[in-house]
Structure 1
């Protein structure tokens, strides 16, 4: 449930960035430039926080909290809840899209998607991984304003 809320916040931030991009990428002396730039940077910061929050939810949703190495998707855990893996596919994709690729967050997301695909047998995770790679440059312009 919380990840659905996070995704909604992500989508709102994405709409803000889309709407303000023309104004935020103008020259310094343009009217409204500073406000648009500040709002874009704030939206981008919120997206990064959402990404981190989604990644923090992975061990709980996959049922890894009681295992010895619960915060490392590199291990092949006895994942009990395949429903949790399905529920995580889109939030993990959003988490990776919110970060520049490659990044520690996208590496973590790829490890999780690989675990879901290879260990749990949910092959849709591979398609989501490819989606992240093909869409990775979506927010790079924000760093240039």
Structure 2
């Protein structure tokens, strides 16, 4: 997994080398915005990503503009998390005060999203004796398009990072009173993980067309390009201390399916970690580049 971190940093260098000529189409801009959100490295955002995001903003649609606002919050959050690690801050109250303000910003961003970002939730009905559902606990969401669905999962992943950091610091260094007050953060972890699971059917292309419920036949064992976009959100959701055993097993199965159908070795490694280790993603043995701090 450490090599994935190196690839992410190398991407930033490629963006810098190619310059503004790369921002000529909607696809190129959206790929750039996607790269901006892959910073689970607990390092500051590379200068090239900060520099070119301001240039790309001038030719963005309403949806892309909203995504860029999210990326700017992400940038400041990444810098704050890097400072916490570099300064070796371990006080739960200090960490919470530094990170929760970004959680508030992200929630304000969500409330201000244009109507074109809205998704709809459904319940899938399965008859007794039929094959297992391709959706988690019979619930799934449908989105306007694949890119918006992926951005929603990036939003959820960022909230997971914020509250997992607070929980990890509090359990390790907090008082009994601080530990007792972790209920709100635990609830955020559970809710974000559930919403990530509910996005899987749409992103994997199961029943994406029309309004019918996803079925096991929709996937047909074939690869779905959306699978790559699910890897990190699903892995983070699977490694949470709040994720139930049945949910973790379902997530593991989905990640393994992505790995085998798309030939992504990283996904196979992720599935193996989920099976072999009963740990949170913030544990040192799991964190893919350096030590998750605190």
Band the TM-score falls in, shorter-chain normalisation? 0.7 to 0.9
* Cα deviation, residue 51, structure 1: 0.9
- Segments of 5+ residues of structure 1 without an aligned counterpart are 27-32, 140-145
Once superposed, which parts of structure 1, at least 4 consecutive aligned residues long, lie more than 6 Å away?
none
> In the alignment, what sits opposite 1:121?
263
> In the alignment, what sits opposite 2:224?
81
* Cα deviation, residue 70, structure 1: 2.3
CA RMSD of aligned residues (A): 2.8
CA separation of 1:79/1:59 partners in 2, compared to 1, >3 Å: closer, same or farther?
A: farther
- The normalised TM-score by structure 1 is 0.72
- Segments of 5+ residues of structure 2 without an aligned counterpart are 1-150, 282-294
> In the alignment, what sits opposite 2:164?
14
- Which is worse superposed, 112-121 or 53-62? 112-121
CA separation of 1:107/1:12 partners in 2, compared to 1, >3 Å: closer, same or farther?
A: same
Specify which structure has the higher proportion of helix.
Answer: 1
Decide which structure has the larger Cα Rg and report it: 2
- The normalised TM-score by structure 2 is 0.38
* Cα deviation, residue 134, structure 1: 5.0
CA separation of 1:134/1:80 partners in 2, compared to 1, >3 Å: closer, same or farther?
A: closer
Aligned pairs for 1:52-91 (under 5 A) are: 52-66=194-208, 70=214, 72=216, 77=220, 79=222, 81-82=224-225, 84-91=226-233
Aligned length: 128
CA separation of 1:69/1:122 partners in 2, compared to 1, >3 Å: closer, same or farther?
A: farther
